[in-house]
Structure 1
Amino acid sequence: MKDPFPPCPEAVVKAITPICDALGFTTLPKHFHEVIGAFLLYHFTNVYLSPLISPLLFPKTYRSFNKRNRINWDIHVVSLVQSTLICIVSLYAMFVDQERSGMDAKQRVWGYTGLLGMTQAFGAGYFLWDLMVSTQHLSIFGPGLLAHAVCALCVFSLGFRPFVNYYAPTFLLYELSSPFLNFHWFMDKLEMTGSSLQLVNGICLLVVFFSCRLVYGTYSSFRVGSDIYYAWSNPPHDIVDQGRAVPAWLALSYVTSNLVLHFLNFYWFGKMIDALRRRFESSAKAKANLSDDKNTAVIEDEVNVEGTDLKIPATSQLHQGVVRHRK
């Protein structure tokens, strides 16, 4: 299926094609404008849109933040925008792209359509922005999210060879859990910690995260690994297609990144359960103390998942094969 967006300007294509060819990213010139467009969208949301809209919607809360909390808030807004957008794009590609639906094992490794390239570009643009932010605020977000950004960007960059474009929307759907994660964080800042609404949201977060990332993610990782192994162990014999054999370094790079990101998902799931448990235990104790007419200050228990408040990446995770849940 064709890319629904206008093509990249010819002047830009000519300028970047030699570099892309040298790196082996043969489809990147077709989608370079979409990568940059996605990057600028998230940068604009972070630097301008969230600081403009948030004080209007939540004047008391946002204006009371210190610098660290404002950074966290604005990046959560970006995560909410990104996860909503990329899930819509991914579901559209999975259900509408008939060429993708008809791909066999080798085509799932080497196949390409304009719509899948666009999906790949949106993911790459986000993780490029994610890498910039994780590096810029390393002291806040920690090395875990930086590693996630590096691995995810690596995987999505390799997709422009093209390589396993078929799985781009599959792994980007890890982001289905991100809105619930962001809502949980927002509720904490809006003094809704321990509320019934946060409890319901927390249950949805755990169920969706477990289903999308751990269950469906494990299944998808097994499938992509099997397809890569099949393509690697059954190289083409005709000279025309020799370039379509899977290099060992490419297979190893992709699978290693996938495993790292997959491990992080399991690690963060454990942290999420612990964070939610502590949130509601603290709320229950506070209510008990208040009922005894004691003068009690409820201190927010900030549980850090790689350096920030209940933050789990996305996307997608691989291919993400990860995809990212933000602060």
Structure 2
Amino acid sequence: MLDPIPPPPEWLREAVEPWALRFGLPALADHSHEVITIFIAYLLIHYVLSPWLSPKLFPRHYPNLNKRTKLNWDVHVVSLVQSTFINAIALWVIFVDEERKTLTPLERVFGYTGSCALISSLAVGYFIYDLIVSTIYLRMFGIGMFFHAVCALWVFSFGYGPFLNYYAPVFILYELSSPFLNIHWFLDKVNMTGSSLQWYNGMALLIVFFCCRLIWGTWQSVIVYMDMFEALKQTWSPSPSLTLFSPVDITAQVFQPRSDGSLCINEACVKANAQISKYSKYTAGGVPTWLVFTYITSNIILNGLNYYWFSKMIETVMKRFRGPSTSDSQRAPAKGSRNPKEENKENAVEDLAQQALLDAASKLGQEEGSLFLGDDVSNNLSAASGVDPGHVEELRKRKAQA
């Protein structure tokens, strides 16, 4: 599918192209205007829209926040807008882009479609914003958030190579749980911790996190590993007719004939098929081995973090459902009296399940926050991540006494 956004003005393309080619990102010249536009949009949301609109929507809460929490509020507004918007676009591309669905394994590594490059542009524009914010407020957010922005910007820039352009919308869907995590944070800040809305949101957060990051993410990671292995085999196995000093050209092995448009019914289809090999001269030499192993290592680390975070959530839930201590269980009730726990068993189980889920959602905020908030996490976790365990526990106690 072609990029639905018109190409950049020629003057911008000519200004960006030399730098794009120098860094091995030829497709960036055709999408530079998208990166710039989305970057400016997020800056405006952070510094203009959120400080103006938030006091109007939440007059009892936003004006009373301290400076640090207001900054976190504005950052979370950008994150909520970005994660919701880019996930919607990614799902649209996955379901609508017919040319993308026909790509072979090697074309998934070396091919190009304008729609997938659009996803990369939306991600790169956001991570440039993220990098600037994490640099300006380095002492507040910590070095971890800074390096996260650098690594994410680097990885999503691969699509302009093009390298794994096909997988841009695939791995963006890791962030399907981010809107729910941001909502959890906001509910905590507007004194709705422990509410039914936060409980339902927490349920959606855990389900989406498990399905997208663990099931979908692991499955797609295995597929991308196999695709890159096929690409490496092409790079390592040049034609026998080539001499030692002949350059490797794998173009004929990678791209299947599509330019005739025999299966197309309109001009857009013909152009969309032709663009798949648009940058083939830049990928003719194959994929560098170091790049493949760097990507795989990064992916394994990120998947490992997802499993670690989910295990901590499960551990938090299990703590809520563990039985009473041995001394309590051995303490027999007085004769003729009824155990109050038995009287309220159904309500207790329901409250316990609700509290366990809220604890798990908060634990996810803690674990993800601890990765990005550096040394401040121990002292300022509540303000920075939106997790307020004391508030949750207080509400639980009040509910138990009611």
CA contact (8 A) 2:120 2:159 kept: yes
Does the residue aligned with 1:6 lie in a helix, a strand or coil? coil
Does the residue aligned with 2:154 lie in a helix, a strand or coil? helix
How far did residue 112 of structure 1 move? 0.5
How far did residue 195 of structure 1 move? 1.4
What's the counterpart of residue 305 of structure 2? 264
What's the counterpart of residue 108 of structure 1? 108
Letter in 1 for 2:29: P
What's the counterpart of residue 153 of structure 2? 153
Structure 1 residues 128 and 271, CA, compared in 2 at 3 Å: closer, same or farther?
A: farther
Deviations 1:273-322 (A, max 9, x none): 6788999xxxxxxxx9xxxxxxxxxxx9994622254479xxxxxxxxxx
Q: Identify unmatched segments of 5+ residues in structure 2.
A: 240-247, 252-282, 321-347, 349-361, 374-380, 388-402
CA contact (8 A) 1:185 1:310 kept: yes
How far did residue 259 of structure 1 move? 2.3
Rounded Cα–Cα distance in structure 2 between residues aligned with 1:266 and 1:133:
28
Rounded Cα–Cα distance in structure 1 between residues aligned with 2:183 and 2:9:
38
How far did residue 239 of structure 1 move? 3.7
What's the counterpart of residue 213 of structure 2? 213
What's the counterpart of residue 4 of structure 2? 4
Structure 1 residues 153 and 272, CA, compared in 2 at 3 Å: closer, same or farther?
A: farther
Rounded Cα–Cα distance in structure 1 between residues aligned with 2:72 and 2:168:
27
CA contact (8 A) 1:148 1:261 kept: no
Rounded Cα–Cα distance in structure 1 between residues aligned with 2:59 and 2:319:
28
How far did residue 223 of structure 1 move? 1.1
Letter in 2 for 1:261: L
Alignment RMSD: 2.7
Rounded Cα–Cα distance in structure 1 between residues aligned with 2:120 and 2:212:
19
Structure 1 residues 165 and 143, CA, compared in 2 at 3 Å: closer, same or farther?
A: same
Q: Give the alignment of 1:102-251 within 5 angstroms.
A: 102-235=102-235, 237=239, 239=249, 241=251, 243-251=284-292
How far did residue 47 of structure 1 move? 0.7
Structure 1 residues 140 and 165, CA, compared in 2 at 3 Å: closer, same or farther?
A: same
The answer to whether structure 1 residue 99 and structure 2 residue 99 are counterparts is: yes
Give the TM-score normalised by structure 1.
0.82
Deviations 1:50-99 (A, max 9, x none): 00100000012001111110011111111110011101110111011111
CA contact (8 A) 1:202 1:276 kept: no
Letter in 1 for 2:208: V
Corresponding residue pairs, total: 294
CA contact (8 A) 2:249 2:286 kept: no
Structure 1 residues 275 and 184, CA, compared in 2 at 3 Å: closer, same or farther?
A: farther
What's the counterpart of residue 13 of structure 1? 13
How far did residue 123 of structure 1 move? 1.1
Structure 1 residues 265 and 133, CA, compared in 2 at 3 Å: closer, same or farther?
A: farther
What's the counterpart of residue 315 of structure 1? none
Letter in 2 for 1:137: Y
Rounded Cα–Cα distance in structure 2 between residues aligned with 1:98 and 1:52:
42
Does the residue aligned with 1:4 lie in a helix, a strand or coil? coil
Q: Give the alignment of 1:277-316 within 5 angstroms.
A: 303=366, 305-306=369-370, 307=373, 308=381, 309-310=384-385
CA contact (8 A) 2:186 2:386 kept: no
CA contact (8 A) 1:117 1:160 kept: yes
What's the counterpart of residue 48 of structure 1? 48
Letter in 2 for 1:248: T
Query: RCO greater where, 1 or 2, for CA within 8 Å and sep 6 or more?
Result: 1
Does the residue aligned with 2:61 lie in a helix, a strand or coil? helix
CA contact (8 A) 2:27 2:160 kept: yes
What's the counterpart of residue 85 of structure 2? 85
Structure 1 residues 227 and 240, CA, compared in 2 at 3 Å: closer, same or farther?
A: closer
Percent sequence identity is 49
Rounded Cα–Cα distance in structure 2 between residues aligned with 1:225 and 1:6:
33
Q: Identify unmatched segments of 5+ residues in structure 1.
A: 280-287, 289-299, 313-327
CA contact (8 A) 2:20 2:29 kept: yes
Give the stretch that moved more between structures: 236-245 or 40-49.
236-245
What's the counterpart of residue 58 of structure 2? 58
CA contact (8 A) 1:151 1:261 kept: no
Aligned to 1:255, which of 296, 312, 325? 296
How far did residue 39 of structure 1 move? 1.0
Does the residue aligned with 2:191 lie in a helix, a strand or coil? coil
Rounded Cα–Cα distance in structure 2 between residues aligned with 1:248 and 1:206:
36
Letter in 1 for 2:310: F
CA contact (8 A) 2:110 2:165 kept: yes
Rounded Cα–Cα distance in structure 1 between residues aligned with 2:386 and 2:181:
8
Give the TM-score normalised by structure 2.
0.68
Deviations 1:18-37 (A, max 9, x none): 11111110100000111111
